[in-house]
Structure 1
Amino acid sequence: MKRVLALALGILTAIGGFVDIGDIVANAEAGARFGLAHAWVLVVGVIGICAYAEMSGRVTAVSGRPVFDLVRERLGPRVALANLAGSLLVTVLTLGAELGGVGLALQLATSVDYLLWVPVVAVVLWVALWRVKFSVLENIFGLTGLVLIVFIVAAVKLGPDPAQLWQQASHPGPAGGEDWGTYWFVAVALFASALTPYEVFFFSSGGVEERWTSKDLTRSRVNVFVGFPLGGLLAFAIMVTSATVFQPRGTSVDTLAQVAMPVALAVGKLGLAAAILGFFAATFGAAMETGLSTAYTVAQYFGWDWGKRRRPREAARFHTVLIIGILVGVAVLMTTIDPIQLTEYTLVFSAVALPLTYLPILVVANDRDYLGNRINGRLANTVGTVYLVIVVAAAAAAIPLMLVTRMGGG
């Protein structure tokens, strides 16, 4: 049992990164509009986040310090400030979207408007992050999020034609009625969602919270190479169920209820209940990740005491930033912007901010002063460099594609 719980950090990080509110709907919408023509993006995204999360976990395990802390020390306050500014904007907006996602999941379960749930969710989130131990949070929400495996069950029970799915996946491109601009906009958004900056900052800081040392390198890598592919698999299952049910009918997907519909058709009411529980766990887990990441990065930049392993009075500024982040997220939602639309915007901003996050990580992972003989090998540097090129290309294309396609509307 202890070995299973040891995977909880990786599972929580992966589920929060791959199947938060935006990704749930984005993968379903991609499946409905393009079938499995974007399946390759999930593969590319999983490999990329695994490569950089492994670097981040290794840096933390060997140095005993979070990546963002070392970025500021190694590259200086100006570079770290640019990194902080870009990631903080994306993370706080994503926090707002996740709070809205929890509200939408509760709306599905209770028929009470999600905006009425948002303040309640925000208070519960604050109390949980203030009072509950880090290990308890990651175990509860990381493992509960696995209920989303019901989408894998649904994908099998729906009985899609394997030959047709392979045809879609192996011949990427726009389906009938779609264009290349929209296809690439969706691809960039899905790629950005897989490598959202808060994932590596949360994973690295979580390693410090759990007091990783060099002896925990294997544990860190197991978290990475089991957790993130599992998150990618769940995202793929959502795409498959949507492609099976909605694409043949030419129906688009833009609500959480529609995402759950294939599960209800395949598994029935029990499956629908499991899907709603999974939505709740995934979005609440992502809200925890983004809330903590907001406070982690600010506190680490300014050199404050931080972390849930410290009492609130010992890390007062850390907890103050956490509260402010939650309040800002609530304030954004109170403008009545749709949480799903909000996440779509954050994915575009995330794509633009990716180079500011991943280049410094690659630099720190090659610094012998911090890692000694644990620096990147040739394979890690090759993969890291290739992904930097991809990241820069995605960052350059994100805003032009957003404008040309009107946020993927065509």
Structure 2
Amino acid sequence: MKTNKSQHKGLRHFFKILGPGLVTGAGDDDPSGIATYSQAGAQFGLATLWTALITFPLMASIQGMCARIGLVTCEGLTHTLKHNYSKFILYLMLVFSVPATVLNIGSDIAGMGAVSHLLLPKVPAYLFCIVITALLMFAIVQFPYQKISSILKWLCLSMLLYIIVPFLIKPDWGSVLRNTFVPTIHFDKDFIQTLVAILGTTISPYLFFWQTTMEAEDQQHKPRKLVVSRRVLSDMKQDVNTGMFASNLVMFFIILTTGVVLHGHIKQIDTVEQAAKALEPLAGKMSYALFAVGVLGTGFLAIPILAGSLSYIVSETFGWSQGLDKKYYEAKGFYAIILLSLGVGLAINFVGLSPMKALVYTAILYGVTAPVMIAVILHICNNPKIMQKHTNGTLSNILGFTTLVVMTAAAVTLIYFQVKGK
């Protein structure tokens, strides 16, 4: 009887501590991620499944550092950079972050509009894009932080759709296990580009800023400031690790689904609706519908994170009042950046850029620029003036520097193949 009560209490505590880490992990599997994983599966089959095992500890280590920065400083990552490092690093980060994030927003809106059109063919995709953007603008401006946080947590359930699909198509599980635990690498431009895209879309710079800021905002919304104790850090790690595990699990199953169904039938995916629609004749209407609905759910989850992280970056850089907990009139600049980023993102859909190509290019851009931010985060987390007694331990540094080396090596290799032209 005591054991059951203890287990129930433990489970209740586990769900209670889930927050910024879970939402960040779920937001990582946005339409950009779905596009990248779908392209990897369609082009290379199950050959990239092993990357899910590699990216999980790397993601968890970096996002854990970002969460710790937020807990200890009670400030966003940009604020920490601004007050402890040169302006050159701050503006370099701004130049890296803004274009990729806006392109990511536009690509996600396009992807959501496209799959909505698939589900309701009588309504044009561009109209869905406009309605989706308007809904997001209204919700972000109208709802307070607590409400937005609650909505984002429930939207995390949309990730479960991708775990269901592979069991409907009955893959060769022996081949799945082999490709999961035995890495395959092809030293050619296409494979390396896909590898960098996978790394870029899982270890994305905008998530670093969002994680740090959300931990800081959670601190600010407590009745009294938490003492950063061993228990608090343990709860934070559970939250982050759960979110990153869920993110990588979804990535694994999307590559699995598209690798089994689309590989050999479609080599190049040019639009996000093509990835969903291609499943219909090959895997059945149920798989296709689940895939399409999943794009919508993850899009509604990810776009507020993208727009919010961008606005925090800009607002903290220029010292504007910011925070999703504030009313519009209390932080006009902050909300103006959110609305502008959504508006520009929507406008991208009318310039003829392929949504799928934009999504994959965004992931590649993240993969090339992320090493700079990872190096900065590592420096912050080893700086006792900022982190006090909560600097990195040995394991955090090993995983962090491994992430830096892997991301840098992948980016350099991609640049080599681009210059070589093969």
Same fold (TM over 0.5): yes
Mapping of 1:211-250 within 5 angstroms? Answer: 211=219, 213=226, 214=228, 216-249=232-265
How far does residue 58 in structure 1 lie from its aligned partner after superposition?
0.7
Mapping of 1:47-66 within 5 angstroms? Answer: 47-66=57-76
Report the CA distance shift for 1:254/1:382 in structure 2 as closer, same or farther (over 3 A): same
* 8 Å contact from structure 1 (residues 98, 284) kept in 2: no
How far does residue 265 in structure 1 lie from its aligned partner after superposition?
7.3
Describe the SS at the equivalent of 1:247: coil
Unaligned runs of 5+ in 1: none
How far does residue 223 in structure 1 lie from its aligned partner after superposition?
1.9
Report the CA distance shift for 1:286/1:147 in structure 2 as closer, same or farther (over 3 A): closer
1:175-226 deviation per Cα after TM superposition (whole angstroms, max 9, x unaligned): xxxx722111111111111111101111111112222642543332122100
* 8 Å contact from structure 2 (residues 155, 300) kept in 1: no
Structure 2 residue 182 is matched with structure 1 residue 173: no
Mapping of 1:191-340 within 5 angstroms? Answer: 191-211=199-219, 213=226, 214=228, 216-249=232-265, 252-260=268-276, 269=285, 272-340=288-356
Separation in structure 2 between the aligned mates of residue 134 and residue 151 of structure 1, nearest angstrom? 28
* 8 Å contact from structure 2 (residues 163, 253) kept in 1: yes
Describe the SS at the equivalent of 1:118: helix
| Correspondence for 2:40 | 30
Separation in structure 2 between the aligned mates of residue 260 and residue 2 of structure 1, nearest angstrom? 37
1:355-404 deviation per Cα after TM superposition (whole angstroms, max 9, x unaligned): 22111111111121222211101111122112212222233234454566
| Correspondence for 1:345 | 361
Describe the SS at the equivalent of 1:373: coil
Structure 2 residue 101 is matched with structure 1 residue 85: no
How far does residue 298 in structure 1 lie from its aligned partner after superposition?
0.6
How far does residue 142 in structure 1 lie from its aligned partner after superposition?
3.5
- How many residues were matched structurally? 401
* 8 Å contact from structure 2 (residues 58, 402) kept in 1: no
How far does residue 262 in structure 1 lie from its aligned partner after superposition?
8.1
Unaligned runs of 5+ in 2: 1-11, 221-225
Separation in structure 2 between the aligned mates of residue 274 and residue 4 of structure 1, nearest angstrom? 26
* 8 Å contact from structure 2 (residues 112, 295) kept in 1: yes
How far does residue 39 in structure 1 lie from its aligned partner after superposition?
2.0
| Correspondence for 2:157 | 146
* 8 Å contact from structure 2 (residues 26, 159) kept in 1: no
| Correspondence for 2:223 | none
* 8 Å contact from structure 1 (residues 185, 398) kept in 2: yes
Report the CA distance shift for 1:5/1:172 in structure 2 as closer, same or farther (over 3 A): same
Separation in structure 1 between the aligned mates of residue 289 and residue 17 of structure 2, nearest angstrom? 27
How far does residue 307 in structure 1 lie from its aligned partner after superposition?
0.7
How far does residue 248 in structure 1 lie from its aligned partner after superposition?
4.8
Report the CA distance shift for 1:332/1:263 in structure 2 as closer, same or farther (over 3 A): closer
% identity of equivalent residues: 23
- Root-mean-square deviation (CA, aligned residues, Å) is 2.5
How far does residue 133 in structure 1 lie from its aligned partner after superposition?
2.3
* 8 Å contact from structure 2 (residues 78, 317) kept in 1: yes
Report the CA distance shift for 1:356/1:316 in structure 2 as closer, same or farther (over 3 A): same
Report the CA distance shift for 1:191/1:225 in structure 2 as closer, same or farther (over 3 A): same
Separation in structure 2 between the aligned mates of residue 299 and residue 273 of structure 1, nearest angstrom? 39
| Correspondence for 2:108 | 98
2:386 to 370, 378, 385: 370
Structure 2 residue 141 is matched with structure 1 residue 130: yes
How far does residue 24 in structure 1 lie from its aligned partner after superposition?
0.8
Matched letter for residue 193 of structure 1? T
Structure 2 residue 395 is matched with structure 1 residue 384: no
Q: Which stretch of the first structure deviates more once superposed, 264-273 or 355-364?
A: 264-273
Q: Which stretch of the first structure deviates more once superposed, 41-50 or 57-66?
A: 41-50
How far does residue 276 in structure 1 lie from its aligned partner after superposition?
2.8
Separation in structure 1 between the aligned mates of residue 110 and residue 347 of structure 2, nearest angstrom? 11
Separation in structure 2 between the aligned mates of residue 381 and residue 76 of structure 1, nearest angstrom? 23
* 8 Å contact from structure 2 (residues 60, 244) kept in 1: yes
